[in-house]
Amino acid sequence: MPTNPDNNTAGLVVKNMIKKFKIKDGIEIKIKKGVPAGFGMGSSAASAAATVIAFDKMYELKLDENTLVEFAGSGEKASAGSIHYDNVAASVLGGFVIVRTNPLNVIKIEPPMNLRMCVAVPKLEVPKKKTKVSRGVLPKKVSLIDSIANLSNAAAIVAGFMKKDPELIGGSIKDVIVEPARQHMIPGFAKVKENALKAGAFGVTISGAGPSVIAFSKSSADLKKISLAMSRGFASANTKCQTVICKPSKGALVIKK
């Protein structure tokens, strides 16, 4: 983990907030988290989100949600090479979020209570600045038919969250642009996805920029069966993995003062 503030999402957030609010204090950051760095699970966003919430509370700034997300997103430049808000918005606010820009506007929708996810984290060597590398393989041009497909599925995902329907959410996780461009970076991805769907998952895709894979289901499903199926998919490519069963969180919050 980088200790230079300019190369760490948490450090960059603090630098930007100190400058904006003319804070004269020196600040030490201690980071302790269970999210592996570089595996598409929002590790960099977790650091940025926790930092912005802690800073806001410590100095009693009482910033609104959009401003909190804006500062957290500024820290992503240390990880991805550019400022972006998609993952930090979810990390700050929790649940399901839609991010609009110019101007920044974050919309939060409460997820279904019974929505569950199975995440398979492969034991692989990941490149430095992995998010930036993963963005580099994306197509520069997208066909009209693929654009329409992704936009319609994105709209259906939003409808799924509005209707509190895990099956509609998972069944709409169909990415014909980013997933095909990145799947070659994940050994056994096709088999992991196939196995999870056969085991009862509603939808499967790459988590973040990868290499973790996420399957969507509901609390009444056999989540252990889905997780085991994903493990076997990675095993078919001689890759070990760790699986985690989880549900949407409430976002970043202060747990100890």
Give residue-wise pLDDT tens across range 65-87: 999 999 999 988 877 777 889 99
**In the numeric block, which tokens belong to residue 204?**
């499967």
Question: Which phi and psi (to 5°) does residue 205 adopt?
Answer: -160, 180
CA distance 29 to 50: 11
Q: What does the DSSP 8-state code read for residue 198?
A: H
- The tokens describing 227, both together, are 């997780």
| pLDDT above 90 for 207 | yes
Mean pLDDT of 55-59: 96
Q: How confident is the model at residue 135 (pLDDT cuts 50, 70, 90)?
A: confident
Low-confidence winner among 73-82, 117-126, 202-211 (lowest mean pLDDT): 73-82
Length of the chain: 257
In whole angstroms, give the CA distance from residue 39 to residue 80: 13
Q: Choose the weakest-confidence range: 53-67, 198-212, 243-257.
A: 243-257
**Residues known to be catalytic:** 76, 131
Flag whether pLDDT at 128 surpasses 80.
Answer: no
Q: Does 211 sit behind a cis peptide bond, omega within 30 degrees of 0 on the bond before it?
A: yes
CATH code linked to domain 115-246: 3.30.70.890
Could you tell me the two tokens for 104?
């920044």
Alpha-helix runs per DSSP H in the chain = 9-21, 43-58, 65-75, 77-80, 86-93, 130-136, 144-162, 166-171, 178-182, 189-198, 223-235
pLDDT of residue 21: 96
Better pLDDT: 169 or 257: 169
pLDDT of residue 237: 98
pLDDT at position 257: 63
- Please, what is the Cα angle at 138 between 136 and 139, to 5 degrees? 125
Q: Which residue has the tokens 């490149």?
A: 127
Give residue limits of the domains in the chain: 5-109, 115-246
CATH of range 5-109; options 2.40.50.100, 3.30.420.340, 3.30.230.10, 3.40.50.9100: 3.30.230.10
Query: Of the given ranges (48-52, 129-133, 162-166), which has the lowest mean pLDDT?
Result: 129-133
Among 91, 129, 146, CA closest to 2:
129
Residues 175/205, Cβ–Cβ less than 8 Å: yes
Read off the pLDDT of residues 78-113 as tens digits, 9 standing for 90 and up: 777 778 899 999 999 999 999 999 999 999 999 999
Q: To the nearest whole percent, how much of the chain has pLDDT over 70? A: 98
Q: What is the mean pLDDT of residues 188-197?
A: 98
Question: 49, 52, 64, 44: which is closest to 17 by C-alpha?
Answer: 52
For residue 235, which of 188, 184, 201, 178 has the smallest C-alpha distance? 188
CA angle 200-204-206, nearest 5°? Answer: 155
